[in-house]
Structure 1
């Protein structure tokens, strides 16, 4: 998917585990299929999942990022109505892999998609409950960090227009540009930032027996505009459950439009980038853009 990504093998993973986590030495190692774009996943025995960044780095920034993600997992576990990944440890660079990696307790479930969801309206209300719980966590005075999702939509304008410029054969870029102009300029009356997951994509929502059981992948978590976590309204839900999600969150028109804008930002950037390399992500992007235009 990425020109600079590292291919991680079962043999390398098994050797790193044996050296750094001897309690898991000898347990079977198997790759987990994933449409994710950031990590290669491996399951160790029945209870452990390992996350190896596809773009490892030996510098301190990636290690700090992984530690921060585990810190957020511990914070959210005490507040959210569904499971989040439980940190089990942090691995270090070794032979065959040039950066840190993370270990979590495995959560049984399947990633969300319409045919795996039992009642879409129940699912929408359950996910809204997660978002409401996130908003209720004390930010301790934090605000948007200045990078990543959660700041002013206008800061995304150049990237959106560049993606639209190369996507004319993939989607209705003229109509999307009109929607983008409206969303980008939607007002924000309440300047208070809150905790946001910031990547509530179907692949980060786990389903069991048709119900939402976990929210995973906390690598994008931060504090910012709560409208960011409206993205599932367009990247997953149909028209009916989209409205259920909105009612459950009680958002005003301007916030709803900013949420639409964030869904558009994610999808229009993903579509041309992944159209040849990640069909699942490209399909979600197409679904999102159709819904944004609906």
Structure 2
């Protein structure tokens, strides 16, 4: 297992060049039945994967950095078990590719899911959005989890040092005193003391697909795990309006402690992404700025 500090260094230092030519060679040699199908780069893609559409029905996802290692195998193992219980489509794994031609990690082929990345402009104030999101998480949490992946096992307390450092670095952009108060409240909130439930682990706008301003699919289950569902509250602060958050919280029956921990997760992950990507990606800058400010608002 890669320790946290080692993972952080790898994320920033190991960035293989992923070209269309490389992807084509990997597909053609490992999966000859798809050889010659057209490849089209998907933009914008997330910070973790380079995505190509393969023909009309498939998608190829290659991790950009070591922090995304293992997602292909995780999704191939667990999503077929979860999908029948969920009210929205999720990726349908088709194959897991091997390293090759200098590319160092496993990669995935899955069924193509139609839709565009969800946006605040299209969905934040739509009355059905909060209900759909709450319904998805409620269904996910109800799936029996006698076994399951651990996901990111770090607690909020495990992130204390790095989050306080991130607060200090962002003091010129956001209200440092308010961030510190929120962070301490999240640390002090009672921990999850009920049986573990499934969580997506990275539930934000970038991992939702929408068609005509309606959520149509949930993707990117690299953070999938079982335990405390508070981290999935992040979606309330990346996407929903204040009214939508109230609807979402009521529909999902979120208690005060879980909501407060969720605000802490939104703050911590928002700050991490802001410092890592916002300077070079306007979309991430806008998303993380909203995530942080809305988490502070509650």
Query: TM-score, normalization: structure 2?
Result: 0.90
Asked if structure 2 preserves the Cα contact closer than 8 Å seen for 1:56 and 1:100, the reply is no
Offset of residue 99 of structure 1: 2.1
Q: Deviations over 1:8-52 (max 9, x none)?
A: 001111111111111111111111113411111111111110110
Asked if structure 1 preserves the Cα contact closer than 8 Å seen for 2:124 and 2:239, the reply is no
Match of 1:21 among 15, 31, 34: 31
Q: Hey, what does 2:43 align to over in structure 1?
A: 33
Asked if structure 2 preserves the Cα contact closer than 8 Å seen for 1:154 and 1:185, the reply is no
Secondary structure class of the residue paired with 2:110: strand
Gaps (5+ residues) in structure 1? none
Distance 1:245-1:289 versus aligned 2 partners, 3 A rule: same
Q: Hey, what does 1:68 align to over in structure 2?
A: 74
1:1-294 paired onto structure 2 within 5 Å: 2-55=12-65, 62=69, 65-117=71-123, 120-140=126-146, 145=150, 148=152, 152-188=155-191, 190-294=193-297
2:285, 2:187 → 1: CA distance?
Answer: 23
2:257, 2:15 → 1: CA distance?
Answer: 38
Query: TM-score, normalization: structure 1?
Result: 0.91
Gaps (5+ residues) in structure 2? 1-10
Offset of residue 178 of structure 1: 1.1
Asked if structure 1 preserves the Cα contact closer than 8 Å seen for 2:93 and 2:110, the reply is yes
Asked if structure 2 preserves the Cα contact closer than 8 Å seen for 1:117 and 1:210, the reply is yes
Asked if structure 1 preserves the Cα contact closer than 8 Å seen for 2:86 and 2:139, the reply is yes
Asked if structure 2 preserves the Cα contact closer than 8 Å seen for 1:35 and 1:281, the reply is no
Runs of 4+ in 1 over 6 A off after TM superposition: none
